[in-house]
A and B are shown apart, each in its own frame.
Chain A
Amino acid sequence: MVGMIETERLTRRFGARTAVEAVSMTVPDQAVYGFLGRNGAGKTTTLKMLLGLIRPTAGTARVGGVDVARDRTGAARKIGALLEAHGFYGNLTGRENLDLSRRLLGLPPSEIDRVLSVVEMRADAGRRVAGYSLGMRQRLGLARAMLGAPPVLVLDEPTNGLDPDGIAEMRGFLRDLPARTGATVLLSSHLLGEIEQIATHVGVIHQGRLVLEGELAALKAAEAPEITLRVDDPQRAAAVLRRWDLTLVEGADGMIARLRPGQDHDQVAAGLNRALVEQGVGVFAFGARERSLEGLYRQVTENTQPLPEAA
């Protein structure tokens, strides 16, 4: 698949520590790609390599077909970025901050009002950034990333520090972004719930390795369904469940029976319920567990070995 962002065995080591190991990712055109991983998993290092901020130890990164290592400025012209550190000058107003970037990008002054309108910040643009809330800084950062309407937006933890209203607002905004602007969005986060509601595609990085990538709907469809149940005698229930060839997991609210791909959820659920009752197991709760990104994430991250130290 040809993507707006493509990496091939992208690797970065810091001394003996491997931060990113052979990451090959593809972000399709006009996708909202959720780049997931725990803190320290290698998300920011990967993004920094895409932006040409740090050099890869091995591998390549291309943005809009341009090799970042060979033509950094050419690749940078295709990217607008909102990084974790906003880098705004507190002594200047929001509009003045945007004006600095606009001048460096060689854009017309009208571009400032355009991006301020997109993030609905025109009314506050005349205030000094030092007095902005975190949410306002995030929106201003987004406005700055959109200066010149770059085809690719790289957003590092864009909902960080936002209140629930701000998160909901940002979520809706990001979800609609490709339709409104035609941009491809690469969104890094450790908030699975947020990504699940925004992203069309996901990539999961764990201990420096890309352990899962694909279209979110397809990945969720392929995930083995689960049944949750709460019973009075878990040991006897477990014995019954084993006969059904299910994987058992201890959940926070009871037992989780993970079906194998291909097993019919409804048929298994009905039979299982009947069998438990026949065996005299008291069932308090019994239900289908919704296929979730969290389930996928746990599945792939729980099976990953840590990266070895480099020689």
Chain B
Amino acid sequence: MLTVLSVEVRKLNRSLALLLALAAPGLIALFGFLMMLRAKEAVTWDMVMGSAVAIWAYFMMPMSVTALTALVAHMEHGPRSWDHLRALPIPRWSLYAAKAICVIGLVALMSVAVLGLSGAAAFLAAQIKPVVAPTGVFELAAYARSLGLMVVAGTLMIAIQFWVAMRFASFVPALIVGIGGTFFAVVATAARQGVFMPWQMPVNILAGEAWRMQTALGLGGGLGLVVLILAVAHLARREVL
């Protein structure tokens, strides 16, 4: 399994998926940087980083997962490499499991990049315009915890997007599900039912109410893992004609 995983990681070399993994957090950092340069007075680190984490949770993470799973799947769909991979003397489930782990790893890496790049962008903006230098303490552990929990809560969303992207050779079904899911999650934020939307789970981590975080971890993380296992089993078993 480790070999298959290492092969998946190597495939990302010079790939669009890796570019996206850097670009999406980079855009959040760029946005924060420009906002700080426009500001007239300093804000706290909590506000700077809270804003970056919120953008990530509400919008950028669901969209990035949609694009990332589609790009990772397209690495195989595009050159039609499934036939070659599936004809190799290795268990087929390991091919899909390694890909799923790789995607989750990339999402975790993007979360780290959100933290690192947004912090660096704020620091850079403060160097250019000292009056906006963030005040207070940079609570690294707290921000990292929130982002880490978001990855766990986002497992259900990742599993659904991964399943659709791997199942269909075309980009379109994965994009429809991802864009649709993100749209409904954003417009249903205020509704109680919206809490249970898979694309809303990362946002629940930021909510004040404990039950929302528990829902996110239980439903998004627990059920997400079950769905991911089912997806791997289904993809390994089905025929690719």
List chain A positions with a Cβ less than 8 A from chain B: 14, 48, 51-55, 72-74, 76-77, 79, 81, 83, 85-92, 96, 99-101, 103-106, 128, 144
Q: Which residues of B line the A interface, CB within 8 A? A: 3-4, 6-7, 10-11, 13-16, 75-76, 78-91, 239-241
Q: A52-B87, A92-B10, A105-B89 are in contact. List 15 more A-B contacts (CB 8 A).
A: A51-B83, A53-B83, A53-B86, A77-B89, A83-B83, A85-B81, A85-B83, A87-B85, A89-B15, A89-B81, A90-B79, A91-B14, A92-B11, A96-B10, A100-B11
* Given known A-B contacts A87-B80, A88-B79, A89-B75, A53 and B240 have beta carbons under 8 A apart: yes
Docked Cα-Cα span, A103 to B86, in Å, equals: 15
A105-B14 Cα distance, complex, nearest whole Å: 23
| B90 CB, min distance to chain A CBs, angstroms | 6
Rank and list the top 9 A-B pairs by shortest CB-CB distance, nearest first: A87-B81, A85-B80, A76-B89, A87-B84, A73-B89, A51-B87, A77-B89, A91-B14, A83-B83
Most chain A beta-carbon neighbours within 10 Å: one of B13, B15, B79: B79
| B78, B87, B90: the one within 8 Å of A79 (CB) | B87
Shortest distance between the CB of A166 and any CB in chain B (Å)? 20
Q: How far is the CA of A48 from the CA of B3 in the complex (A)?
A: 25
When distances are taken between beta carbons in the complex, the residues of chain B under 8 Å from A100 are 7, 10-11
Q: Which residues of A lie under 8 Å from residue B87 when comparing CB positions?
A: 51-53, 76, 79, 81, 83
Contacts of A144 in B (CB 8 A): 84
Least Cβ–Cβ distance between A168 and chain B, in angstroms: 26
Indicate if the CB atoms of B6 and A88 lie closer than 8 Å: no
Contacting residues, chain B, for A104 (C-beta < 8 A): 3-4, 7, 88, 90
B82 touches A87 (CB 8 A): yes
Determine the chain A residues whose CB is within 8 A of the CB of B79 once the complex forms.
Answer: 85-90
A128 to B13, CA, bound (A): 12
User: Given known contacts A91-B14, A92-B14, is B88 in contact with A76 (CB within 8 Å)?
Assistant: yes
CB distance from B181 to the nearest CB of A (A): 28
Q: Which residue of B lies closest to A50 (CB)?
A: B87
Would you give 19 A-B contacts (Cβ < 8 Å), ordered by A?
Answer: A51-B87, A53-B83, A53-B86, A53-B87, A55-B239, A76-B88, A85-B79, A87-B76, A87-B81, A87-B84, A89-B11, A89-B75, A89-B81, A91-B13, A92-B11, A92-B14, A100-B7, A101-B88, A104-B88
Min CB–CB distance A9 → chain B (angstroms)? 20
Residues in B whose Cβ lies below 8 Å from that of A54: 239, 241
Contact B84 A96 (CB under 8 A): no
How far in angstroms is the closest Cβ of chain B from A54? Answer: 5
Whole-angstrom CA separation of A51 from B85 in the bound complex = 11
**A76 and chain B: residue at smallest CB distance:** B89
Q: For B88, what are the chain A residues with a Cβ–Cβ distance below 8 Å? A: 76, 101, 104-105
CB < 8 Å: which of B3, B14, B16, B76 contacts A106?
B3
